[in-house]
Amino acid sequence: MANQEQPNNPLHGYTLEQIVISLSDYYGWDGLAERIPVRCFMFDPTVKSSLKFLRRTPWARKKMEDLFVYTLEKYGAEDE
């Protein structure tokens, strides 16, 4: 039902975990920390700690999602 209602949403079909893994693979944790300077990317970064922080911090999640959309548009999707 909600799946068909979001054809123009670039984040549709991606989980937050997929976004974090994709961006950490693409930019590395240091690259993410440069683009979004938060502790979970700067000090002992892990997917688990990042997800916990991003789920509780709407402004940081928005920045992460915006970076993901920008990266997809500029460099192409790495779907799979």
Query: For the domain that residue 55 is a member of, what is the CATH number?
Result: 1.10.720.30
Alpha carbon distance 4, 24 (integer Å): 29
Give the pLDDT of residue 27: 95
Concatenated DSSP letters for 31-73?
Answer: HHHHHS--HHHHSS--HHHHHHHHHH-HHHHHHHHHHHHHHHH
Residue 65, domain member (yes or no)? yes
4 in a domain, yes or no? no
Q: Is the pLDDT of residue 50 over 70?
A: yes
What's the domain range around 33? 16-75
Mean pLDDT of all residues in 51-79: 88
pLDDT value at 32 more than 60: yes
* Tally of structural domains, the chain: 1
What is the average pLDDT value for the chain, to the nearest integer?
Answer: 87
Which pLDDT band holds residue 52 (cuts at 50, 70, 90)?
very high
Whether 1 is covered by a domain: the verdict is no
